[in-house]
Amino acid sequence: MKKRILFVCLGNICRSPMAEAVMRHQVKLAQLSEQIEVDSAGTGDWHVGHPPHEGTRSQLDEHQISYEGMQARLVLSSDFDAFDYIVCMDTNNLRDVRSLLSEEQGGHQKLFTFMELLPDQGIADVPDPYYDGNFTFVYELVENGCKELLKRVQADMSLS
């Protein structure tokens, strides 16, 4: 069965679109594009319809990863049913997504933070490069976290 992954951040122009593009790239390299779909969304609406931030685009360009056609959108409560993994880039995003959902949905294991994929890093949030400009560090985290997520999804696929 097809698996669907949604990354969520605040503006949907820096961190979650980077994760979307990197994850889709890794899925393609693993020849799983028919089985795994990837999307991203934001909890804030300031940048709806905008392409990824210049800092995110420059990291993706450097690694020759496509972001063609990507546009920011708002996260919707209906995303809960449409996706199998809802990965929030920080704990505020997780709280904001939970506020859109019922108590039962908000506690579901499909909803978790990106840094739960990288427990050895010892940080709870992917730092927001919109404020500190550190897109290089975010790229490193995103690349490593997406590798872990792909392993988890592949393991789940082998069970289902």
Active site residues: 9, 15, 128
How would DSSP label each residue in 132-156?
H--HHHHHHHHHHHHHHHHHHHHHH
Q: Is 50 in the site for ligand 4NP (CB under 6 A)?
A: no
Residue choice 3, 6, 7, 11 for contact with ligand 4NP (CB under 6 A): 11
Helix (H, G, I), strand (E, B) or coil at 69: coil
In degrees to the nearest 10, what's the CA dihedral of 95, 75, 77, 6? -90
Nearest of 116, 86, 110 to residue 126 by alpha carbon: 116
CA atoms within 13 A on the CB side of 129: 25
Residue choice 29, 33, 45, 46 for contact with ligand 4NP (CB under 6 A): 46
Beta carbon of residue 91, minimum distance to ligand 4NP (angstroms, whole number) = 13
Q: Are strands 85-88 and 111-113 parallel, antiparallel or unpaired?
A: parallel
Q: Which is nearer to ligand 4NP, 3 or 89 (CB)?
A: 89
Q: Is 57 in the site for ligand 4NP (CB under 6 A)?
A: no
The residue at minimum Cβ distance from ligand 4NP is 11
Which region among 13-21, 27-35, 57-65, 144-152 touches ligand 4NP (by CB under 6 A)? 13-21
Q: Is 137 in the site for ligand 4NP (CB under 6 A)?
A: no
Q: Which is nearer to ligand 4NP, 26 or 40 (CB)?
A: 40
- Cβ contacts of 48 within 8 Å, gap of 6 or more: 12, 42, 71, 72, 73, 74
Q: Is 87 in the site for ligand 4NP (CB under 6 A)?
A: no
Q: Which is nearer to ligand 4NP, 140 or 157 (CB)?
A: 140
